[in-house]
Amino acid sequence: MLSAKSLFKEIVDNDESFQLFCSIAASGESQGGWENGRIAALVPASERALAPKITRHGADEDKHGRIFNALLSKRGLQPAGVPSETDYTMLLERRGIGLAHARLKADQPLTVDDVITYLAHSRVTEQRAADQMAMLRKYFGDHPEVGKAVRMISNDEDNHLAYTHEELLRFAAAGHGRFIQCTLRECALAEIRVHRDVSLAVMAHMGRILGWSKGKSALLAVGIHAMYAYERLGGWRRMVSLRMPERRDALGGPATPAHEFA
């Protein structure tokens, strides 16, 4: 039976596909760590109280990268090169979503609009991450090899999502509501396209590694296109709604260490 659970089990059980999966994940998380670190350093004076939370966000992303690399190391595997067509973070930047790396590399303070753009980008991408990790936690939370990592990362992603809701609502109350909604919509519509393209690319690589039949690969591609159609028709709206989270001040403390992985 073709299901998310069976597909991921197939990927985890094969060293080469597991190597690619962890390498792609580690690269994206490490990139997110760098971005958050630069944003924290450039936050405008009026929002300096937000800097420790952004720093915590970046520390979590760095930790996730180390966890995925540690999972590779435990199998005696080295990180693999990440194919450009599977680089979710880079492809989002190319579509103008979030803050450009050129902006972050400059030593010029960000504006309030820049901070809102960062939070809106995070609101959308953390929704994707939280949804994916919730699925993995459901099926693999007790897996002897990856279960602990899945549970830890899933909890962190839920914290990140709660944080973006709370901070964007704070900015909305301060009069930035229209800009927030426009930015969220732009981010969400771009993200669902990038997610579709990356998903197709990742599945194509996995199919070659695992020797999937043309029929199986075609069926998976149909499923990815169907998910994109659903999101394009209205599913994207779940990524732009804002509500006060149950987890308040979710990034108000230090990052949870992961000594057992890295």
Give pLDDT tens digits for 212-250: 999 999 999 999 999 999 999 999 999 999 999 999 999
| 116 domain-assigned | yes
Quick one: pLDDT at residue 262?
46
| 120 domain-assigned | yes
What is the sign of the dihedral through the CA atoms of 28, 34, 38 and 40?
A: positive
Is the predicted pLDDT of residue 259 greater than 70, yes or no? no
Per-residue confidence at 255, pLDDT binned at 50, 70, 90? low
Quick one: pLDDT at residue 260?
54
| 137 domain-assigned | yes
Q: Which two tokens stand for residue 15?
A: 């060293």
Name every residue whose Cβ is closer than 8 Å to that of residue 146 and which is 6 or more positions away in sequence.
Answer: 12, 71, 140
| 245 domain-assigned | no
Of 87, 137, 120, 140, which Cα lies nearest the Cα of 189? 120
**What distance in Å separates the CA atoms of residue 65 and residue 22, rounded to the nearest whole number?**
9
Q: Which two tokens stand for residue 11?
A: 């990927």
Task: Categorise residue 234: left if φ over 0, alpha if ψ from -120 to 50, beta otherwise.
Answer: left
Exposed/middle/buried for 134, CB within 10 Å: 0-12, 13-18, 19+? middle
Name every residue whose Cβ is closer than 8 Å to that of residue 108 and which is 6 or more positions away in sequence.
Answer: 42
Provide mean pLDDT across the span 69-91: 95
Quick one: pLDDT at residue 4?
84
CATH of the domain at 74: 1.20.1260.10
Provide mean pLDDT across the span 48-61: 96
**156 near 36, Cβ under 8 Å?**
no
**164 near 125, Cβ under 8 Å?**
no
| 78 domain-assigned | yes
Provide mean pLDDT across the span 80-101: 93
DSSP category for residue 257 = P
Q: Which two tokens stand for residue 261?
A: 């992985």
Higher-pLDDT residue of 211 and 252 is 211
Q: Is the pTM of this model over 0.75?
A: yes
Q: Which two tokens stand for residue 24?
A: 């792609």
| 256 domain-assigned | no
Per-residue confidence at 157, pLDDT binned at 50, 70, 90? very high
Tell me how long the chain is: 262
What is the sign of the dihedral through the CA atoms of 156, 238, 84 and 115?
A: negative
Is the predicted pLDDT of residue 133 greater than 80, yes or no? yes
Of 19, 7, 105, 71, which Cα lies nearest the Cα of 262? 71
Is the predicted pLDDT of residue 2 greater than 80, yes or no? no
Q: Which two tokens stand for residue 91?
A: 């492809």
Is the predicted pLDDT of residue 158 greater than 90, yes or no? yes
| 79 domain-assigned | yes
Is the predicted pLDDT of residue 258 greater than 80, yes or no? no
Domain ranges, residue 208: 4-239
Dihedral, CA atoms, 233, 179, 196, 225, nearest 10 degrees? Answer: 0
Q: How many domains does the chain have?
A: 1
Give the residue carrying structure tokens 């939280």: 130
Per residue in 184-193, pLDDT tens? 999 999 999 9
The number of beta carbons lying within 10 Å of the beta carbon of residue 261 is: 19
Quick one: pLDDT at residue 235?
96
% of the chain residues with pLDDT over 90:
93
| 181 domain-assigned | yes
The mean pLDDT of the chain is 94
Quick one: pLDDT at residue 10?
96
